[in-house]
Amino acid sequence: MVDRLGLKVDVDTLEGMREGVPALLRLFERHDIRATFFLSFGPDQSGRAVFRLMRPGFLKKMMRTRAVEMYGWRAMLRGTLLPATWIAANSPSLVREIEAAGHEVGVHCWNHVLWQDHLPRLSRERVEEELRRAVDAYVDALGHPPHSCAAPAWMVTASSLEVQDSFALDYCSDVRGEAAFMPRMNGRTFRTPQIPTTLPTLDEVLGVEGVGREGFNDHLLTRMIRPSEVHTVHAEAEGRAYRDLLDELLTRLAERDRKVVPLSDLALSIRLEELPVHEVVVEAFPGRAGRLAQQGELSRDSARESQPA
Ligand SMILES: [Zn+2]
């Protein structure tokens, strides 16, 4: 089988939705590829990121990755000096346009900043409310329920995995890791398979160990060693100031016969009964200021016997 790259586009902000998404639709059409767009539906409070300057390591990362160039000033001030506005929930026709172009549309979240900054402190009911609102907005726009979800900022808890299970999704892409697996956390095994992001993101690589903008695609291509890889891009970055980089990457992938696909294509080749069970761990990650969810060790316990009723 031909080697594949699952392409995951996270849409975190209003600018990413309004400017990044249409530009990416044109880019993908030119390359004749399909991808998965995970949409934030609710308020854009990305400006709250300014307050994360207080967090150790964040300022360093902002400087290193030139966050203003990546996200733009408006996005950085949104929800602080500028009013918060709904993202995909306010653009149902654009959501339909993504699907009509042949791409997969999945749920990222309702409130990205809330999930990213507070998930471990949210009650199960609150987590359910967040996902319910996103799923309702999704159904309003597309007329059918979502088949997939990808947690903001690679943040999960046992509660969020449990809530995702209740939405009967085909798969989730919440974590960083090596290959598809069934997630286990806090002694429980969940029903929804995980298709992890396997490659580093642009902001994790830029400025690290001498890799600059020019070297990013080389770096990424040398990391593609498995038959199936998953790469995550952001509509606000690769859909705008870094679009030429993604354009070049797609050209080089075509030259190498690596087929770019939506994650739903990867999910189709999963045989659930054969998937290994892995722990999900939340730990520090190279190039990131905070901790994020990762595929941990292979679990010795069987997936099937410990599922919640
Ligand atoms: Zn995101």
Amino acid at 259: K
Give the closest residue to 47 by CA, choosing from 90, 83, 9, 88: 83
Query: How much distance in Å is there from the Cα of 273 to the middle of ligand 1?
Result: 30
Q: Residue 245: pLDDT above 70?
A: yes
CA 13-110-285 angle, to 5 degrees, is: 70
Query: How much distance in Å is there from the Cα of 71 to the middle of ligand 1?
Result: 12
Any idea which fold 4-298 has?
Answer: TIM Barrel (3.20.20)
Give the closest residue to 34 by CA, choosing from 265, 199, 270: 265
Query: How much distance in Å is there from the Cα of 40 to the middle of ligand 1?
Result: 7
Average pLDDT over residues 139-148: 98
Q: Residue 303: pLDDT above 50?
A: no
Helix H or strand E segment including 263 = helix 263-268
Mean per-residue pLDDT over the chain, rounded: 90
Query: How much distance in Å is there from the Cα of 235 to the middle of ligand 1?
Result: 9
- Where do we find the tokens 């089988």? 1
Give the closest residue to 242 by CA, choosing from 65, 112, 64, 100: 65
CA distance 160 to 120: 9
Q: What is the pLDDT of residue 306?
A: 47
Query: What single-letter DSSP state applies at residue 238?
Result: I
Query: How much distance in Å is there from the Cα of 153 to the middle of ligand 1?
Result: 5
pTM of the model: 0.89
* Per-domain residue ranges of the chain: 4-298
Question: How does pLDDT run across 166-181, given as a tens digit for each residue?
Answer: 999 999 999 999 999 9
